Amino acid sequence: MIGFYDATGRYRCSATLVSPTVVLTAAHCTDGTVGKTALRFDSVIAQSPPSPLPKTADPAAGYTAAELTAAGGLSGDAKTHPEYSDFTDVRNWNDVGVVVLDTPVVGITPATIAPANYLDRFAPKVLNKTLFTAVGYGTEVRQPESGPQKPVPESYPIIRRVAELPGQKLTPQLLQVNGNEKDPRGTGGTCFGDSGGPSFQDGYQVTVTSYGYTSNCRYIDGFQRVDIPVVQDWLAKFGVPVGPTHSPSLFHVPQSERAVAQRDCQALEELGSGARAAAAFDPRDVVLNGAR
């Protein structure tokens, strides 16, 4: 999980270690960051409030490396893809960012980025039968312990979760998947806090979580492809390698505990209030309610 400040407050997102010094996330999880970004690899961040991420002495300046080191975490600098469209151009979505770490990570095997255009092999009939493994520290939709019993995204616990999602549609920039937990092919979808987290196929990281269609996290999820040249050429500038082409039968999805550090674009308030709204995406005409 990664945490950071921008001009409006403190937030968290999900990300993936892709080299000893780089974690990969979504651009809307790096754009506008002030100061340093915090990073934690624990599978359990917090079972209940408050969040273990510290509060900075100066929110306008964001975290300092000294503050994050004193809190027992890692720190780094956020970078945003220069062609990030901020949810305005479906043909040039580019919702990709990285955090360049101040010190290398040891003892954790980085995820492997899929070879160029890897997802293009999945024709529509194959895509609809293919499961993608999403990992993140996002909220869980469930009935509250008190009050109205309508299922809603609950901010705690903050833990690493895994979901299997069937493919729904592929575009040159995006992979859409079915996140409905009632779909017998999968196990549910992503939600607030999973932004920037990875999805895996055949041992490769193929996407980062970008947006959702609904506020209850029970419909279509949109993932930014990371197997496309406009993303991979930019990642190469940070020394991030791309995996070799291989026979799918030889590889398996990596264990999430080895690769994932994640950041959630949901406000880190003790009661989970002030969350950013999910981006509502219509493939015919982009309509935004905010950024997740």
Is 287 inside any structural domain?
Answer: no
Nearest to 199 by CA among 107, 95, 111, 90: 111
User: What is the tally of structural domains in the chain?
Assistant: 1
**In the prediction, which pLDDT does 285 show?**
26
* pLDDT above 70: residue 289: no
Beta bridge partners of 75: 38
* pLDDT above 70: residue 271: no
Which of 64-73, 162-171, 279-288 is predicted with the least confidence, judged by mean pLDDT? 279-288
Is 256 inside any structural domain?
Answer: yes
Q: Report yes or no: 202 and 111 within 8 Å, Cβ to Cβ.
A: no
Is 281 inside any structural domain?
Answer: no
Q: ω into residue 157 within 30 of 0, thus cis?
A: yes
Is 291 inside any structural domain?
Answer: no
**In the prediction, which pLDDT does 243 show?**
86
Which CATH number is 113's domain given?
2.40.10.10
- State the CB neighbour count (10 A cutoff) for residue 209: 33
Backbone phi, psi, residue 233, to 5°: -65, -35
Over residues 126-185, the pLDDT tens digits come to: 999 999 999 998 877 666 667 776 666 677 788 888 888 899 999 999 999 987 667 778
* pLDDT above 90: residue 259: no
Is 20 inside any structural domain?
Answer: yes
Owning domain of residue 140: 2-267
Is 135 inside any structural domain?
Answer: yes
CA contacts within 13 A on the Cβ side of 7: 2
Is 279 inside any structural domain?
Answer: no
Q: Is the pTM of this model over 0.85?
A: no
Is 140 inside any structural domain?
Answer: yes
